[in-house]
Amino acid sequence: MTTNTVRLHRVLRTTPDRLYRAFIEPRAFERWLPPFGFTGQVHAMEAVVGGAWRMSFTNFGTGHSHSFGGKYLELSPGRRIAYDAAFDDPNLPGTMKTSVTLTPVSCGTDLSIVQEGIPEVIPVEMCYLGWQESLIALAQLVEPDIPG
């Protein structure tokens, strides 16, 4: 197993609770997690410690899909989320772990993400780029304060 790791940090103009919901509500997760050019579909999501989740990304241009999933390792509402994930494709072996820390700050929430164990065949810089795109979509989902 590889030890490839990506670390990300953002401050978003929203509450920790709203960010937390974006990670545990299926419709929200499939809306923001896929990188640009992909659609996402959550097939299962049981947001409890030990609960399973499964989703797929589909390349909008080619129609090619890949699926992955895992279980929730830690859930502390508004503060912390940790989950593991493995790809269904045997050419992408191993289990990744993603840890998310949410800290309230004066202008919103400090979001820190660490993803460990990225399969060796995935260039770390490509994973980092994909996460940056996902975080743009996450901000677009959680930052607007739309009344009603």
Domain count, the chain: 1
Give the model's confidence band at 1: pLDDT under 50 very low, under 70 low, under 90 confident, else very high.
very low
Residue 37: closest CA among 133, 143, 139: 133
- Whether the predicted pLDDT of 74 surpasses 90: yes
Asked, for residue 147, whether it belongs to a domain, the answer is: no
Asked, for residue 84, whether it belongs to a domain, the answer is: yes
What is the average pLDDT across 95-119? 97
Asked, for residue 135, whether it belongs to a domain, the answer is: yes
User: Residue 25 maps to which CATH number?
Assistant: 3.30.530.20
The model's pLDDT over 9-64, given as tens digits with 9 standing for 90+, comes to 999 999 999 999 999 999 999 999 999 999 999 999 999 999 999 999 999 999 99
Asked, for residue 148, whether it belongs to a domain, the answer is: no
Give the model's confidence band at 147: pLDDT under 50 very low, under 70 low, under 90 confident, else very high.
confident
Domain range for 80 is 4-142
Distance set, CA 36 to CA 4, 61, 64 (Å): 22, 11, 14
pLDDT of residue 148: 82
Give the model's confidence band at 2: pLDDT under 50 very low, under 70 low, under 90 confident, else very high.
very low
